[in-house]
Chains A and B, each alone.
Chain A
Amino acid sequence: MGRRILVAEDEVLAAMAIEDELQREGYEVVLAPDGHAALEEARAQLPDLLLTDLRMPRLDGIGLIRALRDLAPTLPVVVMTGYAPAGGADAFRRPGEGPVTLFAKPLDMDAVLTELRRLLPVE
Chain B
Amino acid sequence: MFSSAAALQPAAASSGNPLLADPVVQWLHTIADVSIGLACLSVSTVLVMLLRREPALRWIITVSAIFLLACGVAHLVQAVALFRPAPWIAGTSKVATAILASAAAVLLWPALAKWLSLRPRAELEREAEESRAAERRALEAEARIANVVANLSEAVFVLRVEDGQFLVDSVNPAFEKLFGVHAAEVQNGIAEEVLPRAMTMHCLPHWRDALAGGGTQDYEVTAEVPTGRRTWQTVLVPLRGPGGRVERLLGSARDVTATRRLQAGLVQSARLATLGTMCTGLAHEASQPLNIAGLWLRRARHAAQTSSADVQGAVSRALAVVEDQLRRAGELVARIRGLAGEDAAAQQRFDAVPSVAAAVRLACAQAAEQGVRITLHHPAAPMPVRGNPARLEEAVLHLLANACDSVQERRQKDPAAPARVIVNLRREAGRVVVEVRDSGTGIVDSLSETIFEPFFTTKEPGRGTGLGLTIAASIARGMGGGMEAWNLAAGGACFRMLLAADDEAPVAMAAA
Interface of A with B (CB < 8 Å)?
A: 11, 13-14, 17-18, 20-21, 24, 55, 80, 82-84, 86-88, 90, 104-107, 109
How far is it, in angstroms, between the C-alpha of A78 and the C-alpha of B38 when the chains are bound? 139
Closest A residue to B295 using CB positions: A17
Closest B residue to A80 using CB positions: B291
Whether A107 pairs with B291 at a CB distance below 8 angstroms is yes
Whether A106 pairs with B333 at a CB distance below 8 angstroms is yes
Whether B337 pairs with A84 at a CB distance below 8 angstroms is yes
A106 to chain B, nearest CB (A): 4
Residues in A whose Cβ lies below 8 Å from that of B294: 106-107, 109
Contact A105 to B302, CB < 8 A, known contacts A83-B280, A86-B345 = no
Which chain B residues in 305-339 approach chain A with CB under 8 Å? 326, 329-330, 333-334, 337-338
Whether A105 pairs with B288 at a CB distance below 8 angstroms is yes
Residues in A whose Cβ lies below 8 Å from that of B299: 17, 20
Whether A13 pairs with B292 at a CB distance below 8 angstroms is yes
Whether B295 pairs with A109 at a CB distance below 8 angstroms is yes
Residues in B whose Cβ lies below 8 Å from that of A90: 345
Whether A14 pairs with B337 at a CB distance below 8 angstroms is no
Whether A105 pairs with B343 at a CB distance below 8 angstroms is no
How far is it, in angstroms, between the C-alpha of A59 and the C-alpha of B389 when the chains are bound? 37
Contact A84 to B341, CB < 8 A, known contacts A14-B292, A105-B287, A106-B290 = yes
Whether A88 pairs with B295 at a CB distance below 8 angstroms is no
Interface of B with A (CB < 8 Å)?
A: 280, 283-288, 290-296, 298-299, 302, 326, 329-330, 333-334, 337-338, 340-341, 343-346
How far is it, in angstroms, between the C-alpha of A109 and the C-alpha of B285 when the chains are bound? 19
Residue of B280, B326, B344 touching A106 (CB-CB under 8 A): B326
Closest A residue to B293 using CB positions: A106
Residues in A whose Cβ lies below 8 Å from that of B343: 86-88
Q: Which of A14, A17, A106, A107 gathers the greatest number of chain B CB atoms within 10 Å?
A: A106
Residues in B whose Cβ lies below 8 Å from that of A82: 283-288, 291, 333
Whether B295 pairs with A21 at a CB distance below 8 angstroms is yes
Closest B residue to A21 using CB positions: B298
B286 to chain A, nearest CB (A): 8
Residues in B whose Cβ lies below 8 Å from that of A87: 343-345
Residue of A14, A88, A104, A109 touching B345 (CB-CB under 8 A): A88
Whether A104 pairs with B337 at a CB distance below 8 angstroms is yes
Closest B residue to A14 using CB positions: B292
Whether A104 pairs with B287 at a CB distance below 8 angstroms is yes
How far is it, in angstroms, between the C-alpha of A13 and the C-alpha of B340 when the chains are bound? 28
Residues in B whose Cβ lies below 8 Å from that of A106: 287, 290-291, 293-294, 326, 329-330, 333
How far is it, in angstroms, between the C-alpha of A104 and the C-alpha of B346 when the chains are bound? 18
Closest B residue to A12 using CB positions: B292
Q: Which of A18, A84, A104 gathers the greatest number of chain B CB atoms within 10 Å?
A: A84
Residues in A whose Cβ lies below 8 Å from that of B338: 84
How far is it, in angstroms, between the C-alpha of A90 and the C-alpha of B343 when the chains are bound? 12
Residues in B whose Cβ lies below 8 Å from that of A107: 291, 294-295
Q: Which of B284, B285, B286, B326 gathers the greatest number of chain A CB atoms within 10 Å?
A: B284
Whether B345 pairs with A105 at a CB distance below 8 angstroms is no
Whether A17 pairs with B298 at a CB distance below 8 angstroms is yes
